[in-house]
Amino acid sequence: MRMLGLYLHIPFCEKKCIYCDFYSVETTDHIADFVQTLQQEIALRACFLSQHQKHYNTVFFGGGTPSLLSAHQLDAIISCLHKHFSFADNAEWTMECNPGTVTRALLNAYRALGINRLSYGVQSFFDEDLVFLSRIHSGVQALDALNMSREAGFENLNIDLMFSLPYQPFDRWQKNVEYAISLGVEHISAYSLIFEHGTPLYSLYKRGQVRPQDEKHEAALYRWTIHTLTAHGYEHYEVSNFAQQGKICRHNCVYWHGQEYVSFGPSAHGYIYTEKGFIRYWNIRGLKRYTDSVRACVLPIANYEVLSLYDRMVERVFLELRSQGIRKQAFYQDFHIDISDALSSVLPEWTHVGLVIDTPEIVRLSPEGYAVCDSITVKVLQLVESALNTTMQSRVA
């Protein structure tokens, strides 16, 4: 089924976390102005989209810290969205929340405004980890936020948890995961800490003040996590993501299955079909330049690229192998390649040793396959590229 997603980037944080390279400014001063500008961008962009790109299945407020918006500001943005776009009755509306910024009243307002999924950046329930990561909340605040969300009626909660922190012993990570399971959260995103260039964490690393955990330790944590979460009924549906039945994040699936999404806000990326073909655009990153552009009634696009058939195919393989697998029929419809034929030289061996699961509908990685996802992806790309070349040559002939 075709899906269409909508993303809004809210670029404010109370304080930057040392590992984060997402675009956000460390202030709450300009939020009211930004809410006005964002509404202008929504109206402006709606004029440029075709009708089919106005009926949405998923909406995601990300950032930054969207939970810094007041209920009144969020109401204004959502009303503006409803004015310019239409939404499926069962659309997924996700709000990213920082546990240090939510209140009972705010959570009740989210429900009243139609938000039906919350995604909390918890990272850890232990204050030692949270201080190291320079998060603004404590473990107790994270628990309170989750409890208040349940009391407000939310039945679809994600928490992000981060493993392989430099000073985190194995058993502290295990307790984090076990705690999340005992709380019954419907969705868990388990990421290893990345030392991104340009972050304070990276500077600490360059100065020799922190050392990443070694790869063997990280691989052991990851394997334990997969084993534990799947044993407790969570579906491992993407390298880092686990969900209870019926609770996969539909918005993420829009990205991972090559579906279109429209994005708003500074630094946001969109992927849409236009008269030029499929394009990826990215908005201006700086808040001031973004605001100036929108106020001048110019779409705040920093740049865009037109994706060739080959580009789209590479992305599809890369993203689907990391998630729920390559959907054979959709892949054939979009690229005229029979994926079973293209991979016929490797599939029997990979399925025999348990790296890959091959059904009439999909080819997907097994839990063991996820651990060597990169090397499998490289081989799959070689084979589908060769199949694409053959298809193109036969068409020319």
- Tokens encoding 322: 């990391």
Q: Does 64 bind ligand SF4 (CB under 6 A)?
A: yes
Q: How far is the CB of 82 from ligand SF4 (least distance, A)?
A: 26
Report the nearest approach of ligand SF4 to the CB of residue 186 (Å): 21
Choose which of 20, 46, 183, 302 interacts with ligand SF4 (CB under 6 A): 20
Separation CA 109–CA 70 (nearest Å): 9
According to the binding rule CB under 6 A, does residue 16 interact with ligand SF4? yes
Residues with Cβ within 8 Å of residue 60, at least 6 apart in sequence: 5, 6, 7, 8, 94, 96, 251
Q: Binders of ligand SF4: how many residues, by CB under 6 A?
A: 11
**Pattern 87-126, ligand SF4, x by CB under 6 A:** -----------x----------------------x-----
Residue 358, token pair as written in the block: 């091959």
From 1-9, 30-38, 63-71, 261-269, give the range in contact with ligand SF4 by CB under 6 A: 63-71
Helix (H) or strand (E) holding 365: strand 362-365
Order of strands across the sheet with 277-283? 235-238, 241-243, 187-192, 157-163, 117-123, 86-97, 55-63, 4-10, 260-264, 269-274, 277-283, 301-306
- The stretch among 58-66, 274-282, 297-305, 380-388 that binds ligand SF4 (CB under 6 A) is 58-66
Amino acid at 299: L
Using the structure block, give the residue that is written with the tokens 């789209």: 312
Query: Stretches 12-20, 124-132, 200-208, 318-326: which one binds ligand SF4 (CB under 6 A)?
Result: 12-20
* 58 scored as a contact of ligand SF4 (CB under 6 A): no
Question: Interface mask (CB under 6 A) for ligand SF4, residues 289-328, using x and -?
Answer: ----------------------------------------
63 is a site residue for ligand SF4 (CB under 6 A): yes
Tokens of 9: 């980037």
| 194 near ligand SF4 (CB under 6 A) | no
Which residue, 24 or 377, is less far from ligand SF4 as judged by CB? Answer: 24
Asked if 188 is part of the footprint of ligand SF4 (rule: CB under 6 A), the reply reads: no
Q: Are the C-beta atoms of residues 187 and 241 closer than 8 Å to each other? A: yes
How deeply is 286 buried, as exposed, middle or buried, from its count of CB atoms within 10 A (0-12, 13-18, 19+)?
Answer: middle
Q: How far is the CB of 78 from ligand SF4 (least distance, A)?
A: 21
Backbone dihedral angles phi then psi of residue 244, each to the nearest 5 degrees: -70, 165
Instruction: Record the tokens describing residue 13, joined without a space.
Output: 């944080």
Q: Which is closer to ligand SF4, CB of 102 or CB of 321?
A: 102
Distance, in Å, from the CA atom of 43 to the CA atom of 293, rounded to the nearest integer, reads: 14
Among 15-23, 73-81, 200-208, 280-288, which window interacts with ligand SF4 (CB under 6 A)?
15-23
Residue length of the chain: 397
Cα(178)–Cα(182) distance, rounded to whole angstroms? 6
Please, what sign has the CA dihedral across residues 362, 363, 368, 369? negative
Instruction: Kindly state whether residue 24 participates in binding ligand SF4, applying the rule CB under 6 A.
Output: yes
Token pair, residue 186, equals 């419907």
> Least distance (Å) from ligand SF4 to the CB of residue 123?
8
At closest approach, how far in Å is the CB of 392 from ligand SF4? 42
Q: Is 22 in the site for ligand SF4 (CB under 6 A)?
A: yes
Chain mean position to CA 105: 27
Question: Which one, 18 or 309, has the nearer CB to ligand SF4?
Answer: 18
By CB under 6 A, residue 17 contacts ligand SF4: yes
Least separation in angstroms between residue 96's CB and ligand SF4 is: 8
Residue with the shortest CB distance to ligand SF4: 20
- Residues in touch with ligand SF4 (CB under 6 A): 13, 16-17, 20, 22, 24, 63-65, 98, 121
